[in-house]
Structure 1
Amino acid sequence: MLATYRFGPQTGTPLLIVHGLFGSARNWGVLAKRFAVRRPVLTVDMRNHGASFHAASNGYEDMAADLAEVIAAHGGVADILGHSMGGKAAMVLALSRAAMVRRLIVADIAPVAYGHTQLPLAEAMRDLDLTGIERRSEADAALRPRVSDDTTRAFLLQSLDLKSAPPRWRLNLDVLADEMPRILSWPEIAGRHDGPVLFITGGASDYVRPEHRPVIRTLFPRARFVKIPGAGHWLHAERPRDFGSAIETWLDAK
């Protein structure tokens, strides 16, 4: 089963938080503890990420099945918050196993295929010579020529295990690179999810565009939309207070 971390009360319907590509449960620690004041919270490392198992495939049907296993082990039903890749996995779960998903929150992603690629980031990490690197600042300097954006580099380096001898990435970079076309795509899946769904997006992000709304409403008829002004794709990291408040307001609404 996926590496799973629990916060908050032992009773009640949990909120399961699902990270995006190259992320991990640890990226969501601060928000998980905030949400756990009112409800049990579960965070996971997705397959080929963090402390979870490595596998040869990284498709959305696989990831949805992984999440179903976690939910089954923690009461059989959950509210789910998924960001980016994790949001797609959560949507596939809701469409294929609706009874497991009470409320769904999708952060800055749509149920569509995307034309961009994150393959250069996977290749930059895979090509990085970790020999002799002892500090994160050294890894940062070595990665800078291939990844110029400071925020992106800092995010990627959270998955570098410097306590390992030698240092290693907590990512199965070979599989993630090979499976990038599937990660960027959207699987052929029938049906719709009639439960409440919140699509929360960054005002400065273009991942969820007006032309995506028809397909969103077809698959999720009860979809509602909230935008965080000034936030980009990593809206939970850039505007954590606004993001957390929007989530809590929607979860607490009757």
Structure 2
Amino acid sequence: MRLGIFSDVHANLEALVAVVSAYRDEAIDEYYSLGDTVGYGASPNECCDIVRKLVKATVLGNHDAAVASRMDYSYYYDAARAALDYHARLLDPGHMDWLRELPYTHPLPEYGVLLSHGSPLQPEEFDYVFTEDQARTLLGIFDRLPRVTFIGHSHLCRVFALSRDRAYEIPVGRHVLDPGRKYIVSVGSVGQPRDFDNRASYTIFDTNSSVVEFRRVPYDIERCAGKIFRSPLAPNFGNRLFLGL
């Protein structure tokens, strides 16, 4: 099976459409989202529409949880908090109900896969995993981890290989998974990349060949940012898209 796994759309319709179009050339059997369909961008309803129709399953992201009143986000910085308030007012009731029911994790035991927005150690805390030190915190649950855990949240593309006593980063690209290791794969972001590459990020996992691939695709940033500039959202949410940060 070829799985299309992506994360952090963040209401960026143009990026999502570009990723879905790119996936069409990849013979994908099943699609999965790692959460944060909403937050930051100008098209939360449109993105919820597409994700809900496309994916077999998705997990709850922290922005999803905030919009759906499932977490306290009063400590978020002002612009992010205002965007979440705006999306909560804007979102269709059906999409809001969907966010309220999303799980924190979704196991795929038939593939040896776990889906989680942030760290699987305490998924309801939405902790980051994008450094080796953060990956080492998972060694304590090594026996509970499946072969590969896909995460989002950091908006960064990362791969960490784990043994019982070691966690180390390996370069992003195309990887044949070593059966003697477990892996944490951070898939980057569709709608707000933060690695100074402004192209939308997505991944493919071939369960038969045990190959994980990272892909990037350009999208119409001008159009996306223009919608943000014309909305009540903070202009920086549009500006940062051009820089990929």
TM-score greater than 0.5 by the shorter chain: no
Higher relative contact order (CA 8 A, sep 6+): 2
Structure with the largest fraction of strand: 2
Larger radius of gyration: 1
Structure with the largest fraction of helix: 1
TM-score (norm 2): 0.29
